[in-house]
Amino acid sequence: MSYQALYRKYRSQRFDEMVGQEVVARTLKNAIITEQISHAYLFSGPRGTGKTSAAKIFAKAINCPNQTDGEPCNVCEICQAVTNGSLEDVIELDAASNNGVDEIRDIRDKSTYAPSRAKYKVYIIDEVHMLTTGAFNALLKTLEEPTENVVFVLATTEIQKIPATILSRVQRFAFRAITSHDITQHLSEVLTAEGVTFDESAVALIANAADGGMRDALSTLDQALSFAENGLTLDVALLVTGAISKQALDAYISAIADQQVEDALTQLDTIFADGKNMIRFTEDLMAHFRDMLLAETPTVNVDKAQIFAWIDIATETLQTLKNTTQEKIAADVMTMRLSETLKTADYSQVIADLQRQVSELTSQLQSGQFQSSQAPQQPLSEKKVTPKASGNYFSKDFVFKALSEATNEARTAIQGAWEEVINSFDSGFGKSMLQNTSAVAASEQFVVVTFKSEFTAQKAMQNQELQVQFGNFMSNIVGFAPEIIALTDADWLAIRTEYAQLRKQQAAGGDEAPQETATTEKNGVIDQAQALFGDVVEVIED
């Protein structure tokens, strides 16, 4: 006899054998015992949870002459014919490939004939949500005027697609996703029956990967056994499921916790080289973070607030991964961001200084206390800036020159086009690099872009292809092609604070200026304030 797949070999043949669906099984058995058989049922739930198996068990039980306590005997002619699909009174139909109105009309016409061998004629329609509107209307007519001794069992994974008119004419049974514990227990029983030695952790891994579906779990187990030579081991389970080992995740997270970005990227390269899917890697990483939150003694010494921040980054990355073909690049950027979140710089003083500068600037704007400077002004390039982050990836002189040319109009135009520009990148690299960035100051020549990570900011400044593509997209959308100046959020706060202070000193320095010059200077400061601070600047005319 040819080999039979495990999910077929160990398919439930009695209600008592159904795993994880005790409520549904008990309700159907009670209906059979009390002979309260409805003309139509709807079984809904995730794939691989036992819907069609339950339908066939139900068809056997209501027709079995030896039925006991709602269970079929599975030895009589009727039961065996239903099991092997040879009983003409039990008709299975896949609506995915037979979804037209003609097929349903054919069922409606044939359902008027009495069953030939069994007590009930049973129609099992799988994936019923695939029926066309016309087919649903034809089915509705049949359900409205049911023929005696005809039972319809409809099965679907997407109940929201079933018309309300159909739902109101059927008894509904919701099949739930099977717990990993129940799947693990059942797989262990199958392996024991097959005489296969197994590692319990390997079985648990396959159960978790099944995502609540017993059929998927048995299919994966079948694949693992085909590959295994000396029983089911954890290595084999990792291979067939594509999951990431705990050791690999621990090494990756340890490198991140130590802020060893290159080491973490090397770990990720190894995982990727083994053929692991980056979406699956990120999902496993999130599960590992969750386990760290629940663990009394986590393997990595970080506080829970940090783990929550990591989970937020992984969640954002997971959405990016599902919408890009450049999975590895997106995972690399996630790695950089995870490491950068551990840098603990204190920016409270920088923020306080910035708030004070805004307050003083606003007061001077209101009082008109602006005078031209007659004394020689110290060039911007000679001023010293001391951002909290290292800042060694950008030129202070270059940034100050760009800020001196910044305009509110350019910044507003670029901010309005920002999302469109990011979505214009086809390769996924630019999109991944510019995710979670902001355009904070701009002219037609330059745009200051803030990044969460210094590592990412450095890569953006060094990548000429990114600059060229960005300029081309901006030219098409806003009409000019600025060059990116990449800064971290921290460096931008520090530079903006010192630049604002410098502008204030230059505006207030020197002897008293003529009224026209003071007005010109005042307007220049207003323009600079709006270019740097945007909407937070309010100009009040006296």
Q: CA-to-CA distance for 438 and 420, rounded, in angstroms? A: 13
Q: Give 210: exposed, middle or buried? Use CB within 10 Å, 0-12, 13-18, 19+.
A: buried
Work out whether strand 483-488 and strand 438-442 pair parallel, antiparallel, or are unpaired. unpaired
pLDDT confidence of residue 526: 54
Residue in 115, 184, 182, 100 with CA at minimum distance from that of residue 150: 115
Return the CA Rg of the chain.
34
Position 481 pLDDT exceeds 50: yes
- Assigned token pair, 357: 């500068």
Q: CA-to-CA distance for 108 and 141, rounded, in angstroms? A: 8
In the numeric block, the tokens 């739902």 are attached to: 167
For 91-108, the pLDDT digits (tens) are: 898 888 877 888 888 888
Contacts (Cβ under 8 Å, ≥6 apart) of 88: 116, 117
Residue in 275, 212, 265 with CA at minimum distance from that of residue 239: 275
pLDDT confidence of residue 391: 45
State the pLDDT confidence band at 282, using cuts at 50, 70 and 90. Answer: very high
Position 430 pLDDT exceeds 80: no
* Mean pLDDT of the 228-255 span: 84
For 1-34, the pLDDT digits (tens) are: 567 788 888 889 999 999 989 999 999 999 999 9
Write down all domains in the chain, each with its CATH number in brackets: 4-172 (3.40.50.300), 178-239 (1.10.8.60), 244-339 (1.20.272), 394-504 (3.30.300.180)
Q: CA-to-CA distance for 123 and 89, rounded, in angstroms? A: 8
Helix extents (H) in 76-127: 77-84, 101-110
Q: CA-to-CA distance for 27 and 105, rounded, in angstroms? A: 31
Q: CA-to-CA distance for 492 and 451, rounded, in angstroms? A: 10
Q: Give 133: exposed, middle or buried? Use CB within 10 Å, 0-12, 13-18, 19+.
A: exposed
Q: CA-to-CA distance for 16 and 22, rounded, in angstroms? A: 8
pLDDT confidence of residue 123: 92
For 35-75, the pLDDT digits (tens) are: 889 999 999 998 889 999 999 999 999 999 998 899 999 99
CB count within 10 Å of CB 368 equals 13
Q: Which of 82-96, 356-370, 378-392, 453-467 has the lowest mean pLDDT?
A: 378-392
- Assigned token pair, 345: 């710089």
Q: Please give the DSSP secondary-structure letter assigned to residue 342.
A: T
For 495-541, the pLDDT digits (tens) are: 888 888 887 777 766 444 444 444 444 455 555 555 555 544 454 45
